[in-house]
Amino acid sequence: MAKLAPSDLAQVLSKLPKQENENIIVGYEHSDDAGVFRLNEDVALVQTLDFFTPIADEPELYGRIAAINSLNDVYAMGGKPLTALSIVCYPQKGDWDVLGEILHGGHQAMSEEGVAILGGHSVDDQEMKFGYSVTGTVDPKQVISNMGAKSGDVLVLTKPIGTGVISTAIKFEKASEESKEAALAAMTTSAKTASEIMQRVGANSCTDVTGFGLMGHAFEMAKASKVTLQISSDKVPLLPDVLELIGQKMLTRGDRNNREYVGDTVFIDPNVSAATQSALFDPQTAGGLLISLGAEEAEILTGEIESAKIIGEVIEYRDQLIEVS
């Protein structure tokens, strides 16, 4: 099942009446990773929800990836996840042992992160879907949203991209064992450590790179922060074989949808290859964090997380929200 096109969904949300509640710290207006609601001066709730069709052949891996994907939304806000509710869409006449393995994989991932699963909801559906609603907490004064990127910051991406391309290649039996293992390793790596480090060093802004791809989520950060993000395409880390697989047309519908979403707000240097451009728009599952922070702080973060790379910088807004070279 494909996601709704982000451009269509944005139009729907823009027509909703504005919510008048002084305790809403982060709502849906800026397309952030999770909502944040103040309970008192010291505690706010962080809430998110995500579910999707199978991303891995192995049921337990699918469950684990679904859990990590949802947890990372809370980590992206600087929050601590506490509880989760599972969302299950599964055929009534399906193999219940398979569902048990999916739930077990998700349960293991949640337990490893110290998150309690309190229950959930299931429906009969011919197309399998699975995920979680996660609730956490954060200090209202230390929320990290996609609205805080500042001119002079550098941009850090904590994981390589290309999971959408590789997942498509796996379905068509075109993916090498190396690329498959690398993609699964990326999708099952929690953002907890990266979140803790970015909070310690003092990040200004963060977003979780998932279904809208690097370009889509960078667009949301730039728009919310009223700045321009300059991204060096040759510095963006890629999973193994991604460009080669794109050359074999191993693309998802998200490539087109994400291009439509950012529209003409992005300038891409003509020297950037078509394959590289597709990688930048590729929808991710349980992707890395895109973090905007000072240069010295970025050196600390990239020094402690091997997969994290500096991919660009933030400047004052000029003409386009994103410039790719």
* Strand-by-strand arrangement of the 129-138 sheet: 24-26, 35-38, 44-52, 129-138, 80-90, 116-124
* Strand-by-strand arrangement of the 266-268 sheet: 205-208, 289-293, 154-157, 309-316, 227-231, 322-324, 266-268
For the chain, domain boundaries: 17-142, 154-324
pLDDT of residue 1: 40
Residue 324 near residue 236 (C-beta atoms within 8 A): no
Query: Could you tell me the mean pLDDT of each successive run of 10 residues in the chain, 325 residues long?
Result: 61 78 90 94 97 94 98 98 98 95 98 98 96 98 97 98 96 96 97 98 97 97 97 98 97 93 96 98 97 98 98 97 98
Determine the residue type at 266: V
* CATH of the domain spanning 154-324, picked from 2.10.109.10, 3.40.50.300, 3.40.605.10, 3.90.650.10: 3.90.650.10
Query: In whole angstroms, what is the distance from residue 164 CA to residue 238 CA?
Result: 12
Give the architecture-level CATH label for domain 17-142.
2-Layer Sandwich (3.30)
Task: Compute CA distances 145 → 17, 75, 124, 130, 209, whole Å.
Answer: 22, 11, 36, 26, 13
Say yes or no: do domains 17-142 and 154-324 share a fold.
Answer: no
Q: Is 0.85 surpassed by the pTM of this model?
A: yes
